[in-house]
Structure 1
Amino acid sequence: MNGKGNRQIGRRRVLQGLAALPFAGIARASTGDTPLEMREIAPGVFVHQAPYEEATPANRGDIANLGFIVGDQAAAVIDSGGSLREGKALLAAVRRVTDRPVAYVINTHFHPDHIFGNAAFPVARIVGHQRMAAALKDRGAYYRQTLDRDLGEVAAGSAVVPPDLAVTDSLGLDLGNRRLLLQAWPPAHTDCDMTVRDERTDSWFLGDLLFCRRMPTIDGSLRGWIARLEQLRAIPAARAVPGHGPATVAWPDATDPLLRYLTGLSDEVRTALKNGVSLAEATGTVGRDLKADWILFETVHPRNVAVAFAELEWE
């Protein structure tokens, strides 16, 4: 999308759309749902910090950081959670702060812990990377089956709701005297990563381009992720919100452990390939010295080694 087209998604269009939203109906939708715990990291910017866990019925898929931002006319949700139940709890958290309508649900990428709460916001525009709809079409059925397996009855009502507003490059959204800048990125963590910056407070939601403490997963490009982190680090921000980790972290220092892991993995896999080490052997030896920084290392790291092998084998 060119700059002129992006500017057209501005204040006038947003405010026109808000007039059509069923305001009172949204406010009533959270009745009976216990709100997620949120932290206000900057004026009008709220973040839910998820535990460092795998999805279970007990946590209802709550394993990714979520957020919302409140403008003068509307609110925007940034990632909706790992189940319909979590999405409703997030909506209840919004309602505890404001009665302004949720105009947008912004998905930073297509992984299930970030998108299965979309159905809790039926009148909001769902915003995602231009490649996100295709990714969900490819994996959506599998993600839904996996959700049933992991959450059991807690998964009831959860559905894959794809974006209806695609971001090809950058897009500005006006919540009423509050502009959000959305940026789509080339393949890194996934092939449809997106960041969200609140221009009023210079708060930057990185999605899963940034993992802190919880073990990162590679589902896009190892080389691309390293390149994106180097690119992102050069862009200043007052504070950053990772997709997994604390509610807010110092920028760009918070990228150091992730960059150290990804570059270390890349270097060690290249050495293993050069020395004729098999994948089976490499999964037990490569990157073991990088374990100290990460929770769930043993669960995720072997798969990362396999992904790195597949990407780097034909360099």
Structure 2
Amino acid sequence: MNRRRFLQSSAALSLLTAADFAPWQAISAFARELDDFVRGPAVKDHPLRQVSKHVWMIFSPDGFPTPENQGMMCNITFVDTAEGLVVVDSGTSVQIGEMAIRQIRKAFNKPVIAIINTHYHGDHWLGNHAYVDAYGDSLPLYAHPGTIQAIQGVQGNMWRTLMEQWTNQATIGTRVVPPRLPLKNGDELKFGDVTLRMHHFGVVHTPYDLCVEVLEDGVTLIGDVAMDHRIANMDDGSYLGTFKAYDSLEKMGSRIWLPGHGEPGAGVLKWNRRLFEGIYQPCEQAIKDGLALEETKARVLKDPRVSSQARDTKGFETNIGKYVSLAYLEAEAAGF
């Protein structure tokens, strides 16, 4: 039994004894208070970095959650507007959200006025908890309608539990605070001197990814639609959908792509496309040639687009087998 469950069980037993079997409503309220009381440790400060006139970020050097990094694995982005700060992807935990709030309070004399969650993977929205604690329950929390539904459903508690497991309980105390205001492709949010335009391209990294274009800066916050030097999770996604999304994004003319993982820059889409084409296109050919999956994996690993990037790609060794399998299955299905 982990520390959280032990404390909850012990405290609940004490409550029952002291309250002479109090009503379940009281026990439920006590459990919620205990969740707030039992907290993982604070996260060390990570510095703010300016990306463009209106865009700032807290860069995460790690690609995956560990006990050592306490779940600090996703870039957190802030758009500085005349009306206040807009957060795009709030991080993995209440502790990371609190760290980010400490940083912006040092740099800006402005409140957070909105949050946009790009998709339903927990490293992009579990930090919402800290912001509603700091700025109130009425803080606008935006996402694609499918993302909202997913977090309100099984994805919410699943991701909270996974992050606790992967970080050895470092994120404990984080509540599921889903986004609630829907955004669709083409929607714009205007905050004084800054306009944010939403882009949704269908199934890419997930079925509901939003990219947020900062029109005045020529910067697009792409979430996990593309990553820099990290292999992307494709369990819920589509290679073909990703290539179509890149075609559309490249026509927009943004000068900087800011990913959820990795460094922002002009070459992020190009880097990720090269890796993904090196995975998917050999699978397409393998299907035509009648090759089995294991033979296909060997062909992928020899492809220069893959072999040249493997060493510098976080998570490559542990994930390439699965993502070749997913590419093979998608190519097989597309061939029918």
Specify the alignment match of 1:240 in structure 2: 257
Pair 1:311-2:326 in alignment: no
Distance in 2 between residues matched to 1:299 and 1:82, nearest whole Å: 21
Other structure's SS at 1:173 match: strand
1:199 maps to 2:218? no
Cα distance change of structure 1 residues 295 and 153 upon mapping to structure 2, 3 Å threshold = closer
Match of 2:275 in 1: 261
Within 5 A, what are the aligned runs for 1:268-279?
268-279=282-293
Q: Distance in 1 between matches of 2:294 and 2:175?
A: 36
Q: Deviations over 1:258-298 (max 9, x none)?
A: 11122222211122223333335544553443043223211
Match of 1:175 in 2: 191
Q: Secondary structure at 1:258's aligned position in 2?
A: helix
Change (3 A) 1:73 1:230: same
CA contact (8 A) 1:174 1:180 kept: yes
> Alignment RMSD, CA only?
2.0
Q: Distance in 2 between matches of 1:39 and 1:286?
A: 37
Say which SS state the counterpart of residue 77 (structure 1) adopts: strand
Counterparts of 2:308 and 2:91 in 1: how far apart (Å)?
A: 28
The answer to whether the 8 A contact 2:88-2:115 is kept is: yes
Match of 1:229 in 2: 246
Q: TM-score, normalised by structure 1?
A: 0.82
Bigger proportion of residues as strand: 1
Structure-to-structure mapping, 1:122-137, within 5 angstroms = 122=132, 123=136, 124-136=139-151, 137=153
| Cross-structure match for 1:118 | 128
Structure number with larger C-alpha Rg? 2
Alignment of 1:10-25 (within 5 A): none
Report if the CA contact (8 A) 2:55-2:80 is conserved: yes
For 2:325 and 2:142, how far apart are their aligned partners in 1? 31
- Please show how residues 65-144 of structure 1 align to structure 2 within 5 Å: 65-122=75-132, 123=136, 124-136=139-151, 137-144=153-160
Distance of aligned partners of 1:53 and 1:311 in 2 relative to their CA distance in 1, 3 Å threshold: same
**Unpaired runs of 5+ in structure 2?**
1-41
Check the 8 A contact 1:268/1:287 in 2, yes or no. no
The number of equivalent residue pairs is: 281
Give, in whole Å, the separation in 2 of the partners of 1:36 and 1:171: 32
Deviations 1:61-104 (A, max 9, x none): 11111110121121100111112111111111221122322111
The runs of 5 or more residues in structure 1 that have no matched partner are 1-31
The aligned amino acid for 1:111 is H
User: Counterpart of 1:232 in structure 2: which amino acid?
Assistant: L
Task: Tell me if the contact between 2:118 and 2:143 (Cα under 8 Å) persists in the aligned partners.
Answer: yes
Supply the distance in 1 between the matched residues of 2:230 and 2:285 (Cα, whole angstroms): 26
- Amino acid paired to 1:242: P
Superposition misfits of 4+ residues, deviation over 6 angstroms: none
In structure 2, what is the equivalent of residue 155 of structure 1? 171
Distance (Å, rounded) in 2 between the aligned partners of 1:161 and 1:312: 37
The SS at the match of 1:141 is helix
State whether residues 216 and 300 of structure 1, in contact with CA within 8 Å, keep that contact through their aligned partners in structure 2. no
Partner amino acid for 1:299? T
Please give the residue correspondences for 1:39-50 in structure 2 after superposition, counting only pairs within 5 Å: 39-50=49-60
Measure the CA separation in 1 of the matches of 2:175 and 2:308. 36
The residue identity in structure 2 corresponding to 1:279 is L
TM-score normalised by L of structure 2: 0.78
The answer for the alignment partner of 1:28 in structure 2 is none
